[in-house]
C-alpha cells in the first residue's frame, strides 16, 4: 500500500481515473475477447451455461492465485501451475447433498470432509472477497445444502483417504466394473486401491433419476449392473417449452457424472435408470484428488491432438473428451514396426513423442522411405472407416510413443465414424475422396 501526503491535484486525479478506467476496460475487453474466441471454437448448445462456466473458471483462477498469495500455498505445487487453466478449485462453495430420489444412500453422515452450514461458511470466509459467487437459479433446487471445507482447500492437501469396508465379492465386483473403464486405466496400484476403498454401493430402482440436469455434482458413478439413459434438456429460444434429447446410454462398466465434479459446473444432463441397477459411487473429494488429476492431464494433452485430425472435425467437444479418455499409450522401440503395408488393422495412432518413418513398396518391389512424422501427427485413422489394407509400413525411429484407439472402442463410445463424418458434409466428401481417389 502506498501513502501520500496532501491531496492529489485535479489533473493527477483525472490521470488516476483514466488509468483506473483504462486498466479495467482493458481487462474487460480481454475477457470478452477470450470468451468470444472460446465460444466460437466450442459452439456450445447452452450459451448461457457456457458463459457462466467460462467466468466461473476465470474467477477460480484468480481465486487460486489469491489463495497462493494469502495461504502460503506454493505456486509450484499449485494445481493450476501444473494444469494451465484446468479447474482444480471450486468456483462456488461446493454443496454436499442428497436428492430425494437418491435417498437410499446418504454418505454425508460418514463423510470425511468437514461440513459447514451456510452461516459457518460466511463466518469463516467473510473476510475473503472472492469467497462467494451466487449459484445459478436452479443450481441447488430441492437439495439440502451444506458447504464443504473442501471448497477452499487445494485438492491434494489434507486429503483423508476414505475407506468403506467391503466384502471380497464386492471388491471383485468393482474390479470387474472398472476393469475396462478408461478413467481407471492409467491409475497406479495404490491409487486404484484408494478408489476401490472409497466407493460406496448404491442400489437404484428402475425409473430413478440418479442425476438431474442443473443439480450440484456430488458423486461420480460406475455402473455395476443395470442400464441408464442420459438426456439433455434444452430450452426453446422463444418459448417456455423444453426439448429432451437422448445423448447416451450406459451399461455395466460405463461411468458418468464426472463433468460436474471436474469443472464445478451444474450437472450437464439427467441420468435415469432404465432397469433396477447397482452403481458404485465415488465421492467428489476422492474423485478430484485421485481420478481427476489423471483424467484432466490426459484430456488436455490429447484433445489438442484430436482437434487437428480432419476425421474428428465433426465431433462435439464432449465427444472429444470421450475419445481422449479412451486413448491408450503404446510404446515402440527403435526399428519396431507399428503398421505393415497391406495388413488389415483397426487402430489409429497419434504420435506423442518420437519419430515414425513411412515406407512404401514401389513397383519394383523395393521398400522406399516416403515420409517421417513427429509429435502431434497422426496416422492409420482411415482404418476407423473401413477395413482396407494399410497403405504404408510404419516403423519407429528411436523410441516412439503413440496414443491409440481401435475402431470397436470408437464405435462403442460414439457410434459409427461414417455417421459422425456426415455431420460436416464438406469434410466428409474430402475424406471419402481421399479413400477412393
Ligand X SMILES: Nc1ncnc2c1ncn2[C@@H]1O[C@@H]2COP(=O)(O)O[C@H]2[C@H]1O
Least Å from the CB of residue 218 to ligand X = 9
- Work out the number of other CB atoms within 10 angstroms of the CB of residue 400: 26
Residues that bind ligand X (CB under 6 A): 211, 217, 230, 232, 247-248, 256-260, 267-269, 271, 318
Strand ranges of the sheet holding 228-235, from the earlier edge strand across to the other edge: 209-211, 270-273, 228-235, 242-250
Instruction: List Cα–Cα distances, 411 to 33, 237, 414, in angstroms.
Output: 37, 33, 5
Angle between helices 407-414 and 317-326 (to 10 degrees): 140
Least Å from the CB of residue 264 to ligand X = 10
Dist. CA 200–CA 178, nearest whole Å: 14
Please give the annotated binding residues, written as ranges: 258, 267, 381, 390
Dist. CA 133–CA 431, nearest whole Å: 46
Least Å from the CB of residue 188 to ligand X = 24
CB 421 within 8 A of CB 311: yes
Least Å from the CB of residue 358 to ligand X = 36
Strand, coil or helix: 185:
coil
Least Å from the CB of residue 227 to ligand X = 14
Beta carbons within 8 Å of 317's beta carbon, 6+ residues apart = 42, 44, 303
Using the minimum distance from each CB to ligand X, give the nearer residue, 57 or 267.
267
Using the minimum distance from each CB to ligand X, give the nearer residue, 42 or 172.
42
Please give the annotated binding residues for 3',5'-cyclic AMP, written as ranges: 258, 267, 381, 390
Using the minimum distance from each CB to ligand X, give the nearer residue, 264 or 393.
264
Beta carbons within 8 Å of 149's beta carbon, 6+ residues apart = 113, 114, 115, 116
What are 262's three cell numbers? 471436474
Using the minimum distance from each CB to ligand X, give the nearer residue, 256 or 378.
256
Dist. CA 406–CA 418, nearest whole Å: 15
Using the minimum distance from each CB to ligand X, give the nearer residue, 125 or 318.
318
Using the minimum distance from each CB to ligand X, give the nearer residue, 298 or 390.
298
Least Å from the CB of residue 46 to ligand X = 10
Amino acid at each position: 500500500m502506498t501513502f501520500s501526503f496532501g491531496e492529489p491535484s485535479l489533473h493527477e486525479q483525472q490521470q488516476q481515473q483514466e488509468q483506473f478506467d483504462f486498466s479495467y476496460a482493458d481487462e474487460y475487453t480481454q475477457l470478452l475477447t477470450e470468451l468470444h474466441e472460446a465460444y466460437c471454437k466450442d459452439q456450445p448448445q447452452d450459451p448461457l451455461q457456457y458463459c457462466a462456466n467460462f467466468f466461473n473458471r476465470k474467477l477460480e483462477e484468480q481465486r487460486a492465485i489469491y489463495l497462493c498469495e494469502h495461504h502460503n500455498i506454493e505456486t509450484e505445487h499449485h494445481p493450476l501451475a501444473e494444469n494451465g487453466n484446468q479447474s482444480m478449485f471450486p468456483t462456488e462453495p461446493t454443496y454436499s447433498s442428497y436428492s430425494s430420489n437418491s435417498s437410499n444412500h446418504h454418505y454425508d453422515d460418514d463423510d470425511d470432509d468437514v461440513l459447514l452450514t451456510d452461516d459457518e461458511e460466511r463466518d469463516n470466509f467473510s473476510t475473503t472477497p472472492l469467497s462467494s459467487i451466487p449459484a445459478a437459479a436452479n443450481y441447488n433446487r430441492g437439495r439440502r445444502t451444506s458447504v464443504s471445507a473442501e471448497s477452499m482447500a487445494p485438492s491434494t492437501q489434507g486429503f483423508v483417504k476414505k475407506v468403506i469396508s467391503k466384502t471380497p465379492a464386492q471388491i471383485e465386483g468393482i474390479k470387474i466394473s472398472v476393469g475396462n473403464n478408461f478413467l481407471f486405466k492409467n491409475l497406479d496400484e495404490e491409487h486404484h486401491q484408494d478408489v476401490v476403498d472409497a466407493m460406496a454401493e448404491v442400489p437404484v430402482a428402475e425409473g430413478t433419476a440418479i442425476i438431474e440436469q442443473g443439480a450440484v455434482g456430488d458423486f461420480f458413478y460406475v455402473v455395476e449392473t443395470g442400464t441408464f439413459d442420459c438426456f439433455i434438456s434444452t430450452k426453446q429460444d422463444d418459448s417456455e417449452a423444453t426439448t429432451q434429447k437422448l445423448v447416451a446410454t450406459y451399461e455395466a462398466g460405463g461411468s458418468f457424472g464426472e463433468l460436474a465434479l471436474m469443472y464445478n459446473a451444474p450437472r450437464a444432463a439427467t441420468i435415469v435408470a432404465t432397469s433396477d441397477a447397482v452403481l458404485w459411487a465415488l465421492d467428489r473429494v476422492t474423485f478430484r484428488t485421485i481420478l481427476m488429476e489423471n483424467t484432466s492431464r490426459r484430456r488436455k494433452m490429447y484433445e489438442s491432438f484430436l482437434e487437428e485430425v480432419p476425421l474428428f472435425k465433426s465431433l462435439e467437444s464432449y465427444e472429444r473428451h470421450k475419445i481422449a479418455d479412451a486413448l491408450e499409450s503404446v510404446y515402440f522401440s527403435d526399428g519396431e514396426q507399428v503398421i505393415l503395408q497391406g495388413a488389415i488393422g483397426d487402430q489409429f495412432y497419434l504420435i506423442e513423442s518420437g519419430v515414425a518413418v513411412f515406407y512404401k513398396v514401389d513397383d519394383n518391389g523395393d521398400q522406399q522411405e516416403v515420409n517421417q512424422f513427429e509429435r502431434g501427427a497422426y496416422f492409420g485413422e482411415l482404418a476407423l472407416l473401413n477395413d482396407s489394407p494399410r497403405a504404408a509400413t510404419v516403423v519407429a525411429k528411436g523410441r516412439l510413443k503413440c496414443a491409440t484407439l481401435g475402431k470397436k472402442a470408437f464405435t462403442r463410445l460414439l457410434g459409427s465414424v461414417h455417421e459422425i463424418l456426415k455431420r460436416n458434409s464438406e469434410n466428409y466428401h474430402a475424406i471419402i475422396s481421399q479413400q477412393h481417389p
